[in-house]
Amino acid sequence: MIQLEQVTKTYPKASRPSLDNVSVAIEKGEFVFFIGPSGSGKSTIIKMLLHEVAPSKGRIVVNGKDVTSMRSWKRPAFRRSIGCVFQDFRLLPNRTAYENVAFALEVIGKTKAVARRVVPEVLELVGLGGKEHRYPQELSGGEQQRVAVARAFVNRPLILLADEPTGNLDPDTSIEIMRLLDRINRTGTTVVMVTHDSNIVNQMRRRVIEIESGRIVRDQARGVYG
């Protein structure tokens, strides 16, 4: 599903590479944590998988598509197969929960009728039934992240990327979000999550890939934070 082959990324003006000869293969339906200290290069991986940053060396294949050689005009279509969740939720403040999710559908050309059918369903799935018409500032942090997850999942992507999704949430809320991601993973969606929340990693017992100074130092099938 996701392959990184000897990927190196050196940002201009950086003295050492952010990623140094990293090779990883992630199968369909896996749930993978990338862990490591700040600046270790975890987020660079997410950016590369989104075709936002190109590797300096090596090859990246996502969903059978070579991202390395992908032209930028193909990026929009490519992104439709990938859901994305961030630490800062990235919701539109002047739109309700429903409208935020519907917006993601409408801007890729889905009709309002499709949105009316699909959006309540997915909001129900993330546990926000009854709060469709609240604005982000009327929702708690956990609820906002649920809206973001709903938005990422509404297109039924093959891959869900999560960049520190619990970074702004308290431990209990974090666990709830993890349950949600776990449920999404069980529908067959590959989940890749970048985090340094040791609690969560230890509880989930999923594959853990640890990165330090741009190199993989550990890749463990049912790992803990360490």
Partner 1 sequence: MRLKYVLSEVMVGLWRNVTMTIAMIITMAVSLTMLGASGLIYVKVAEMKELYFENIEVSIFLETEVTEEQKTAVQAKLDADPLIESVTYVNKEEAHEIFEELFRDSPDLLSAIGPEALPESYRLTLVNPQEYEAIGEQYAEIEGVDQVVDKSAVLDKIFNLFSAGQKIALVAAVAMAAAALLLVANTIQVAAYSKRREVAVMKLVGASNWFIQAPFVLEAVVAGLIGSLLGLGALAGLKVFLFDGALSALQGLFAPVTWGEVLLAFPLMAAVGGLISAITAWVTLHFYLRV
Question: What residues make contact with partner 1 under the rule CB under 8 A?
Answer: 50, 73, 75-80, 84, 90, 92-93, 103-104, 106-109, 111-112, 151, 155
Name the residue nearer to partner 1 (CB basis): 40 or 43: 43
Which amino acid is residue 47, in one-letter code? K
Residue 81 in contact with residue 67, Cβ under 8 Å?
Answer: no
Residue 35 in contact with residue 225, Cβ under 8 Å?
Answer: yes
Name the residue nearer to partner 1 (CB basis): 23 or 111: 111
CA dist 188 and 200 (Å) reads: 21
Name the residue nearer to partner 1 (CB basis): 160 or 201: 160
Place of tokens 């005009």: 73
- Residue 210, helix vs strand vs coil: strand
Name the residue nearer to partner 1 (CB basis): 116 or 186: 116
Question: Nearest distance from residue 24's CB to partner 1, in Å?
Answer: 23
Name the residue nearer to partner 1 (CB basis): 9 or 151: 151
Question: Nearest distance from residue 73's CB to partner 1, in Å?
Answer: 7
Question: Nearest distance from residue 75's CB to partner 1, in Å?
Answer: 8
Name the residue nearer to partner 1 (CB basis): 104 or 177: 104
Question: Nearest distance from residue 80's CB to partner 1, in Å?
Answer: 4
Burial 94-131 (b: 16+ CB within 10 A, else e): eebbbbbbbbbbeeeebeeeebeebbbebbebbbbeeb
Residue 213 in contact with residue 198, Cβ under 8 Å?
Answer: no
Question: Nearest distance from residue 154's CB to partner 1, in Å?
Answer: 9
Question: Nearest distance from residue 156's CB to partner 1, in Å?
Answer: 13
Residue 122 in contact with residue 101, Cβ under 8 Å?
Answer: yes
